[in-house]
């Protein structure tokens, strides 16, 4: 084929001008995803808790660094009515919603028979039910435009279990099931729905645990990372928020149009065990 007639294939630049909501994007993985989408030209609506001045700083930094519009919704992912107002607000302000990233999540660790009931309810509400609500509310707009990308941040714990994480493991397994149902229902509408399943990702939250664990166990930072935090992760390396962001951008792109209903591990081989 002559060079001038060669097709270049679907481009990541096809994302420019699209609108994304990323739940739980005031820190950690969600913020990394919001920044990666903005770098690809996507207007991003942030969500999550934080000091108003810090959220303003994040918004204006993303807007000036990548030349996109930013929004912010304070919606508590435990409150279906607040989620409804968030999606309505996005439609009013931006007129469309192309990419829905369900990332907000919390954790609590305790034996099953001692697991606080209110923690169970909160984890299921934030880590699973909030995605049901954003999806049911975002799908009609996506169907109208004949395009949509739903990306659910699950976990390696959506595929395998660990002790003492009953609510988290149940919610993460649940969101993978929900991902598959949405993929099937929306398959003919130009809409895909996939889950990303990170192992340990290096975030400020993880960094904050390293020194404490080192002190508690009387071992070095390197030993904490290798033998405590990454005990299950064969490559002995944290994934980064930039890596999760890059995968999200790919799944949101035209190039990923045929990838739907999958749960993609980003776990250094953890779930290959
Ligand atoms: P994080 O604590 O740094 O960020 C969580 C975000 O969710 C914050 O922006 C917080 O404000 C927001 N949030 C919490 N409760 C909320 C609520 N009720 N309503 C709205 N927003 C709320 O955590 P993270 O490590 O970046 O985790 C993000 C997602 O990735 C979670 O779903 C988590 O389960 C998943 N995950 C994380 C790791 C890891 O190693 N960090 C591994 C696998 C999966």
Taking CA atoms only, the protein residue closest to ligand 1 atom 21 is 48
- Measured in Å, residue 103 CA sits from the centre of ligand 1 at 6
Ligand 1 centroid, distance to 144 Cα (angstroms):
30
The residue from 72, 168, 200, 202 that is catalytic is 168
Tell me 187's DSSP state.
G
In this structure, the residue with its CA closest to atom 8 of ligand 1 is 24
**From the CA of 204, how far away is ligand 1's center (Å)?**
11
- State which ligand 1 atom lies nearest to the alpha carbon of 239: 40
Per-residue pLDDT of 68-92, as tens digits, reads 999 999 999 999 999 999 999 999 9
Give residue-wise pLDDT tens across range 143-197: 999 999 999 999 999 999 999 999 999 999 999 999 999 999 999 999 999 999 9
Active site residue 72: no
pTM of the complete model: 0.95
Using CA positions, which residue lies closest to atom 31 of ligand 1? 105
pLDDT at residue 8 greater than cutoff 80: no
Instruction: Report the pocket of ligand 1 as residue ranges, CB < 6 Å.
Output: 23-30, 47-49, 76-78, 103-106, 126-127, 153, 155, 198, 200-201, 203, 205-206
Ligand 1 pocket test target in 23, 24, 73 with most atoms within 8 Å of CB: 24
Give SS3 for 2: coil
* Strand partners of residue 45: 21, 71
Q: Which regions of the chain does DSSP assign to beta strands (E)?
A: 19-22, 43-47, 70-73, 99-102, 148-153, 191-198, 201-202, 239-240, 263-266
Q: Using pLDDT thresholds of 50, 70 and 90, give the confidence band for residue 25.
A: very high
* pLDDT value at residue 10: 58
Tell me the pLDDT tens digit for each residue of 103-127: 999 999 999 999 999 999 999 999 9
Q: What's the pLDDT score for residue 212?
A: 85
Predicted confidence (pLDDT) per residue in 37-63, tens digit: 999 999 999 999 999 999 999 999 999
- Candidates 156, 203, 251, 250; CA nearest to 25 is 203
Give me 195's structure tokens: 């889950």
CA of 162 to the centre of ligand 1 (A): 18
Residue 94 alpha carbon to ligand 1 centre in Å:
25
For residue 271, the CA-to-ligand 1 centroid distance in Å is 21
Q: What is the pLDDT of residues 204-239, one digit of tens each?
A: 878 888 988 899 889 999 999 999 999 999 999 999
Distance CA 16, CA 128 (A): 29
Mutate to test the pocket of ligand 1, among 104, 124, 156 (most ligand atoms within 8 A of CB): 104
Q: How many CB atoms lie within 10 A of CB 64?
A: 10
Q: What does the domain layout of the chain look like in residue ranges?
A: 15-201+240-265, 202-238
| Architecture of the structural domain at 15-201+240-265 | 3-Layer(aba) Sandwich (3.40)
Closest atom, ligand 1, to C-alpha of 125: 18
């Amino acid at each position: 084929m002559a060079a001038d007639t060669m097709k270049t294939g679907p481009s990541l630049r096809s994302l420019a001008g699209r609108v994304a909501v990323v739940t739980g994007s005031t820190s950690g993985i969600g913020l990394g995803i919001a920044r990666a989408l903005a770098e690809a030209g996507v207007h991003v609506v942030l969500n999550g808790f934080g000091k108003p001045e810090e959220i303003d700083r994040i918004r204006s930094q993303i807007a000036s660094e990548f030349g996109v519009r930013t929004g912010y919704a304070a919606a508590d992912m435990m409150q279906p009515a607040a989620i409804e107002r968030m999606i309505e607000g996005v439609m009013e302000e931006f007129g469309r919603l192309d990419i829905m990233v369900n990332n907000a999540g919390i954790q609590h660790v305790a034996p099953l028979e001692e697991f606080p009931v209110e923690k169970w309810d909160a984890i299921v509400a934030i880590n699973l039910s909030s995605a049901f609500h954003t999806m049911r509310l975002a799908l009609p707009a996506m169907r109208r435009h004949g395009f949509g990308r739903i990306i659910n941040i699950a976990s390696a714990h959506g595929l395998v279990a660990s002790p003492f994480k009953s609510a988290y493991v149940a919610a993460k397994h649940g969101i993978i099931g929900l991902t598959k149902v949405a993929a099937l229902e929306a398959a003919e509408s130009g809409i895909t729905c996939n889950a990303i399943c990170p192992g340990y990702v290096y975030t400020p939250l993880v960094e904050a645990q390293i020194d404490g664990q080192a002190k508690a166990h009387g071992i070095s930072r390197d030993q904490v990372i290798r033998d405590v935090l990454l005990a299950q992760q064969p490559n002995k390396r944290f994934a980064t928020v930039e890596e999760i962001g890059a995968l999200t951008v790919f799944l949101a792109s035209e190039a990923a149009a045929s990838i739907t209903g999958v749960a993609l591990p980003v776990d250094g081989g953890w779930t290959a065990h």
